[in-house]
Each structure stands twice: as structure tokens, then as C-alpha cells.
């Protein structure tokens, strides 16, 4: 699979390493409208085909898949451009600024018969995946309660300054991943209630969000996110889990400790992610999930199957984001059928 990447910014470095490590894929071109970013990436990764304009890159051809690693404002135009050139598409989260844009992008790629995946990688973090696998294997029976929690005081604004400037912050940027983990664990959602707060006066958007999800299969789940929580140990970027089931409980605690308790006893496993050769703490958890989701994409296309976080699937995660903002603004429970 010949892969081209658009948007050589802060996070794309991980994706470029992921492509170098992937089996069955080759990075053939990179594009960034900023020539300086392009130069840095060309030097680091030795890619010879470089472009400041995505249209010129597609016009030159020789691309099977485009990996869009830009921020959300450019996603729709780039996904539709890619669809016009009949290539498979990966698009970073948040997929779209509106549900209308998200649905239009899904339709545009669907019409070509190519594969569209949203780079929704948190469910691929190996510790989270260990919990998903245990739950799906029935380790604690039928789940009826869940808590998916991400609370941190880590400074994300130095690396990603745009996060401080948006009217929306934590639900759109980070909560989207945590909501997606809830979907991976408990399936789709019927209704949602949310509250938000802004604690950090130096940013525009909300940095605390607490959401109550009623899943269609009967699970009640609390999804709580904060970038205003200063505590030791600092757990960035760990997602912590507590799940009660009819046959036991499952916890993913700080330090990547997975505990499963049943009437037969309690077992705790260390499910720490590896630190890949190009990764660094504390980001290694996210970085490994980037490599894993990209390999999953290559394998899905080769097998002719849909990736877990296909465009159509991710529209349902995006709907939770929209429902949470609507719920917080109108101080009411939102039915997902409204979104």
C-alpha cells in the first residue's frame, strides 16, 4: 500500500513513524502547506516526494491511501479531494466540525468503494484493548455499570497551542476518545446528559466535562474528563476504567494495572504498553496505539473488511460529542436520535 500523508505537524511525527514500522505499507509522499514543516519531515524521514499543495500531490498519482493528519478545519475539503482521486482515506479526529460535514465525507468515500477510517486510536491503546478483550470474552459476565475516566493536569497547550484558542476544548479534543472507548466497551448510546466547566482561565473552552451515558444494551456509564486535575501520580495519558458486571468487576487503575475480580478470586496484571524505539514517556501509550491502528487499517484493506473505526462508525462517536455540548448548553438530557 503506497501511503501519502497530509499535515506534517505535532502529531503527524508519530504517524510517520507508524508508517515506517507498518508491514505491507510504504510512505511515498508528504504534504504540508508550511514549507518549514515539510523540510523537517523530509530530513527526518527521507521522503523524496514532498508537496505544499495536496492537489499537486494527487495529480502526480501513485498513491493508494492518503493519511490526513491536519486539524479539523481542513478535513472535509481534503477528504473530498481524496475521494475525487479514488484512494483509501484515513482522517484524524475530530473527524468533522459538524454532523453534516461528517456524513458528507462518509458519503463521498462510500461512493468510490474505497475504505475510510477515522484515526480514533485510544481504543487501540494496549491497556484499554486488554480490558476490551476481557470484557468481550465474558470475563465479568454482562456489564451493567461503567466508568471511563481521564483526569490530568498535564500541559497539552505547549505542544498544541490551538487547543487553548477554540470555543470548544476537552470534549471535542480528548473526550471524543473517552466516549469512543465507552462505545467500544458498551456499544451505542440511547441518551446522554453532560455538564461542563472551565477552570483554567487562560483558555477559551471547557476543560472539565462529566457525562452520563445510557447505552442501548442497558449499561449506564459515567465518562469524566478533566485537564484541571493536578494530582500525583500524574496519569496522562491514561484512561482509567471501572466496570461492574453480573459475574464480577474489572478495573484498569493508574500505572496500567488491570484487575479482574470474580467469585473465584482476583487477578491483577501489568498491562503497561511498550516504549517503542521512537517513542517517549508519557506519550508512549498513545504512540503505540498509532502504530497499532495504522497496521489495523492496512490489514483491513488487505482483507476487504471495514476497520473498527470506519467513517460510518465514527459518526456515532461524533454524535456523542455533539450530544454532550447540546446537553450542557441546554441543561437537559439529549436523545441521540436528535443528533
Interacting residues with ligand 89Y (CB under 6 A): 156, 160, 173-174, 177, 237
Q: CB 228 → ligand 89Y: shortest distance, Å?
A: 13
Q: Does 70 bind ligand NAD (CB under 6 A)?
A: yes
Say which entry of ligand NAD, ligand 89Y, none residue 34 contacts (CB below 5 to 8 A, set by partner kind). Answer: ligand NAD
Q: CB 184 → ligand 89Y: shortest distance, Å?
A: 16
What is the b/e burial string over 214-245, where b = at least 16 CB atoms within 10 angstroms of the residue's CB? bbeeebebebbbbbbbeeeeebbbbbbbbbbb
Q: Helix (H, G, I), strand (E, B), or coil: what is residue 185?
A: helix
Q: CB 121 → ligand NAD: shortest distance, Å?
A: 5
Give the ranges where the chain is alpha helix by DSSP (H): 12-21, 35-45, 54-60, 75-84, 99-110, 126-136, 170, 176-186, 284-303, 311-330
Q: Helix (H, G, I), strand (E, B), or coil: what is residue 309?
A: coil
**Binding piece for ligand NAD, criterion CB under 6 A, among 21-29, 70-78, 104-112, 311-319:** 70-78
Q: How far apart are CA 180 and CA 186, in angstroms?
A: 10
Q: Does 286 bind ligand NAD (CB under 6 A)?
A: yes
Are 37 and 9 contacting, i.e. CB atoms less than 8 angstroms apart? yes
Q: CB 152 → ligand 89Y: shortest distance, Å?
A: 9
Q: Does 92 bind ligand NAD (CB under 6 A)?
A: yes
Which of 17, 76, 119, 251: binder of ligand NAD (CB under 6 A)? 119
Nearest residue to ligand NAD on Cβ basis? 9
Residue number, 93 or 215, with CB nearest to ligand 89Y:
93
In order of 23, 139, 228, 309, the CA distances from 130 in angstroms are: 23, 11, 28, 18
Q: CB 180 → ligand NAD: shortest distance, Å?
A: 10
Amino acid at each position: 500500500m503506497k501511503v501519502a500523508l497530509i499535515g506534517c505537524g505535532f502529531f503527524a511525527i508519530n504517524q510517520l513513524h507508524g508508517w515506517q514500522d507498518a508491514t505491507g505499507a510504504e510512505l511515498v509522499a508528504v504534504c504540508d502547506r508550511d514549507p518549514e514543516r515539510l523540510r523537517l519531515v523530509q530530513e527526518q524521514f527521507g521522503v523524496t516526494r514532498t508537496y505544499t499543495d495536496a492537489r499537486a500531490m494527487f495529480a502526480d498519482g501513485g498513491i493508494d491511501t492518503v493519511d490526513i493528519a491536519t486539524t479539523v478545519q481542513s478535513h472535509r475539503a481534503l477528504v473530498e479531494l481524496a475521494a475525487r482521486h479514488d484512494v483509501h482515506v484515513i482522517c484524524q479526529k475530530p473527524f468533522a466540525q459538524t454532523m453534516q460535514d461528517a456524513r458528507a465525507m462518509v458519503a463521498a468515500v462510500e461512493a468510490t468503494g474505497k475504505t475510510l477510517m477515522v484515526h480514533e486510536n485510544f481504543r487501540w491503546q494496549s491497556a484499554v484493548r486488554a480490558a476490551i478483550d476481557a470484557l468481550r470474552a465474558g470475563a465479568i459476565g454482562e456489564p451493567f455499570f461503567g466508568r471511563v475516566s481521564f483526569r490530568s493536569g498535564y500541559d497539552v497547550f505547549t505542544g498544541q497551542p490551538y487547543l487553548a484558542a477554540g470555543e470548544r476544548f476537552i470534549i471535542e479534543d480528548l473526550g471524543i476518545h473517552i466516549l469512543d472507548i465507552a462505545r467500544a466497551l458498551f456499544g451505542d448510546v440511547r441518551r446522554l446528559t453532560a455538564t461542563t466547566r472551565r477552570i483554567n482561565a487562560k483558555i477559551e473552552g471547557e476543560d472539565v466535562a462529566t457525562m452520563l451515558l445510557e447505552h442501548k444494551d442497558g449499561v449506564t456509564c459515567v465518562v469524566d474528563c478533566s485537564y484541571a486535575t493536578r494530582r500525583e501520580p500524574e496519569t496522562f495519558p491514561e484512561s482509567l476504567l471501572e466496570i461492574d458486571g453480573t459475574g464480577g468487576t474489572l478495573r484498569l487503575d493508574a500505572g496500567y494495572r488491570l484487575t479482574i475480580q470474580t467469585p473465584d478470586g482476583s487477578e491483577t496484571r501489568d498491562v503497561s504498553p511498550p516504549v517503542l524505539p521512537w517513542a517517549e514517556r508519557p506519550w508512549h501509550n498513545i504512540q503505540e496505539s498509532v502504530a497499532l491502528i495504522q497496521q489495523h487499517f492496512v490489514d483491513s484493506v488487505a482483507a476487504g473488511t471495514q476497520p473498527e473505526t470506519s467513517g460510518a462508525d465514527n459518526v456515532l462517536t461524533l454524535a456523542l460529542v455533539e450530544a454532550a455540548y447540546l446537553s450542557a448548553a441546554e441543561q437537559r438530557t439529549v436523545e441521540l436520535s436528535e443528533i
